[in-house]
Amino acid sequence: MYQKCDPQAQLRLFCFPYAGGGALLFRDWHAELPTSVEVYPVQLPGRGNRMRERPFTNLSGLVEAAAAELLPYFDKPFAFFGHSMGAMICFELTRLLRRINGPLPCHLFVSGSRAPQLPDPHPPSYNLPEPEFLQRLREMKGTPAAVFDNPELRQLVLPLVRADFSVCQTYVYLEEPPLDVPLTAYGGLNDKDVSIDFLELWRRQTNGPFMIRLLPGDHFFLNTASQYFFQVLSQDLTTTLRDFASRSSHSRRASARY
């Protein structure tokens, strides 16, 4: 992570990228979100300043490593945001924190992702031969054109993307009780892979408040409709802070009575 602690901030927002992405995706978010929120971009192995590290190919190992590294930063109220693969990471990270009796986020923001209990309708693609794998990336429309046009760049990027696809496509959902964490699911109105019905099923993963936010665009709406997305996320973060403060005040009053 690239972050200096802001003692004035009230909430830390840990951000997890989609497949093939890194902390750079979130480099400007601090300027777009409320000043009461610290943005913590999570840099996964195999990209950016961790380029020399081997990327994970399974979700359980990735989540365990993330928990070990991030635990020291959970010393003040925090929330998770993840898009696509990042949504799976922050969901399973929250469940792991619950299993080890660790601190839990005060809100879970999942974006561009089917509910985790739904099986992937597509056959695995992480192990396809290169021509077929490249075609799959073109269909998804999230990979810069330079990757397809530059053989050296392809050689650098494709192993990372294959590893990230493996993280997503080898994931096995295990039944656990719903989380006691408020959850908001974001989706693109034109996302062919993540329909509103698939977003709605996230409701089963929380005992707390649940909301769906639909934004213009396809799977990568957070890039193509970024201004509107930031407005919506800013509103939701402000509400999260207000609700957390209200719950904390209620808890303190209840404790004082006993």
Which sequence spans correspond to the domains of the chain? 11-119+173-256
Distance CA 192, CA 126 (A): 20
pTM: 0.91
Give the CB-side neighbour count of residue 43, counting CA atoms within 13 A.
Answer: 14
- pLDDT for residue 251: 58
Instruction: Quote the radius of gyration of the chain (alpha carbons, Å).
Output: 18
Q: What are phi and psi of 168, to 5 degrees?
A: -75, -45
Residues of the chain with pLDDT below 70 are 1-5, 142, 248-258
pLDDT at residue number 135: 86
The whole-number pLDDT of residue 220 equals 92
Q: Which pLDDT does position 151 carry in this prediction?
A: 79
What is the CATH architecture assignment of 11-119+173-256? 3-Layer(aba) Sandwich (3.40)
Write the CB contacts of 112 (distance below 8 Å, at least 6 apart in sequence): 18, 83, 84, 87, 186, 187, 188, 191, 194, 219, 220, 221, 222
Assess whether 84 carries a catalytic annotation. Answer: yes
Output the pLDDT for position 207: 97
pLDDT in tens, 41-99: 999 999 989 989 999 999 999 999 999 999 999 999 999 999 999 999 999 999 999 99
pLDDT (0 to 100) of residue 162: 93
pLDDT in the model for residue 37? 97
Point out the catalytic residue in the list 36, 60, 84, 111. 84
pLDDT at position 8 = 79
pLDDT at position 140 is: 75
